[in-house]
Chain A
């Protein structure tokens, strides 16, 4: 078994091999075509801050401060969305003009430590600023330490399922998953989000938005099947997005089934989704549901 570092070193050494020189005939072909290729020039001059008057600059600066504050408040309690940073420092963000539960960032990210989760023990994490605990019903569920709990260890014992825990709640879906075209931001209720999820092109709706409860709170559940005939590979098939730079969820496999739970915890939406591959081991989806059923919120 190689360590991750050894594997990385091997990949890097392998990438060093191979051609590095562009053949002259290719360069000549390019330069031959240049005289026949007109350059494209920008049609409109770029609007730059120096072009604006003082009041406009101040307005933009003020807007930027508000945006930074809001984004900062949103991101400080990150517990490891895709690529979420490390533990947040002591929060110093100014108060949000629209107080919500998420406006009180937790002092540090919380997510189960990397490794297998003990059956029956309570595991703590924070999503969208809401603390919660959960337990796994069977052996073989492993935390990646940041944003995912996998059934099995990839690749040797992976059983084709994982739950994705995102600190940021998506606010819109992609209207063209392969073209990576975002639809407009949608309504902020769980029903609005669930309805939007149910319409992601290139997916089949297996379970229409339905009312369920998670941890005693009202939730919407939607189940999608990612079609296998998508015109782009799975890693380029985008499903939904959240504000800020850190969350654009894509399907990790074509043909997979994606279950979404959108929980309304006293007005704060908590988003959980799980993906099972088309060849997932029997029982993975059931265990996934049992994990969801084990959730207890402590808002």
Chain B
């Protein structure tokens, strides 16, 4: 990220922040959407994160840490959004996302469905670790720094999350009651 742009935004330059928001907005939104699995919640979280970035930018001591810092604020916003939704709309029906049918590595629509269900059973903390590591390719020590938790905690969360997702994928391999009687 452009350190000069960050420096100007830190000193209240709204135009510089606008450029910054354009530069990072897509990336933050993509991450939020993958964590929350809902387009409206992701938009809310991204909006909140961008405003928090603007508000707290003067407190960022090292502009080189901007990316990790912005992801940390985004994950907090996702957590708040997820919690608010859970508290107020526990039975909210989350619609499936649009996706291509021939993505590499996904053997079937069933995989997507099972992953979607498995992922939604994870806490936001666990989802964030999976997304930062497997979507952004962030090393575990960077994930730990971004989330402000020990590396061991990240490893544990990733272990539990991937175990859950693998279990979800395996679920479609078990024969249904109907198949079992054939």
**Nearest chain B CB to A64's CB is how many angstroms away?**
19
Assess the A10–B170 pair: CB atoms within 8 A. Answer: no
Assess the B55–A37 pair: CB atoms within 8 A. Answer: yes
Task: List, in ascending order, chain A residues with CB within 8 A of B43's CB.
Answer: 22-23, 26
* A91 sits at the interface (CB 8 A): no
Task: List, in ascending order, chain B residues with CB within 8 A of A13's CB.
Answer: 103-106
**Nearest chain A CB to B35's CB is how many angstroms away?**
10
Task: Decide yes or no: A235 and B126 within 8 Å by CB, A13-B104, A82-B152 being known contacts.
Answer: yes
Within 86-105 of B, Cβ neighbours of A (below 8 Å) are at 97-100, 103-105
Interface string of B20-64 (1 = CB under 8 A from A): 011001101110011000010011001100110011111101000
Stretch from A38-46, A65-73, A101-109, A264-272 that touches the partner: A38-46
Task: Decide yes or no: A11 and B130 within 8 Å by CB, A19-B39, A156-B170, A245-B152 being known contacts.
Answer: yes
Assess the A12–B105 pair: CB atoms within 8 A. Answer: yes
Task: List, in ascending order, chain B residues with CB within 8 A of A154's CB.
Answer: 163, 167
Interface size (B, Cβ < 8 Å)?
A: 67
Task: Decide yes or no: A246 and B123 within 8 Å by CB, A7-B166, A15-B134, A37-B51 being known contacts.
Answer: no
Assess the A16–B153 pair: CB atoms within 8 A. Answer: no
Query: Nearest CB to that of B130 among chain A residues?
Result: A11
Assess the B103–A2 pair: CB atoms within 8 A. Answer: no
Assess the A10–B160 pair: CB atoms within 8 A. Answer: no
Assess the A27–B152 pair: CB atoms within 8 A. Answer: no
Interface string of B136-175 (1 = CB under 8 A from A): 0000000010000111111111001011011101100100
The DSSP consensus for interface residues of chain B is helix
A30 CA / B49 CA spacing, docked (Å)? 10
* B18 sits at the interface (CB 8 A): yes
* A49 sits at the interface (CB 8 A): no
Task: List, in ascending order, chain A residues with CB within 8 A of B169's CB.
Answer: 2, 7, 10
Assess the B151–A83 pair: CB atoms within 8 A. Answer: yes
Task: List, in ascending order, chain A residues with CB within 8 A of B17's CB.
Answer: 34
Task: List, in ascending order, chain A residues with CB within 8 A of B160's CB.
Answer: 235, 252
Assess the B154–A18 pair: CB atoms within 8 A. Answer: no
Task: List, in ascending order, chain B residues with CB within 8 A of A273's CB.
Answer: none
**Nearest chain B CB to A164's CB is how many angstroms away?**
10
3 A-B pairs closest in CB distance? A13-B105, A83-B152, A83-B155
Binding site for B on A (CB under 8 A): 1-2, 4, 7-23, 26-27, 29-31, 33-35, 37-42, 46, 81-84, 154-156, 232-236, 245-248, 250, 252
Binding site for A on B (CB under 8 A): 12, 14, 17-18, 21-22, 25-26, 28-30, 33-34, 39, 42-43, 46-47, 50-51, 54-59, 61, 97-100, 103-107, 111-112, 115, 122-126, 130-131, 134-135, 144, 149-157, 160, 162-163, 165-167, 169-170, 173
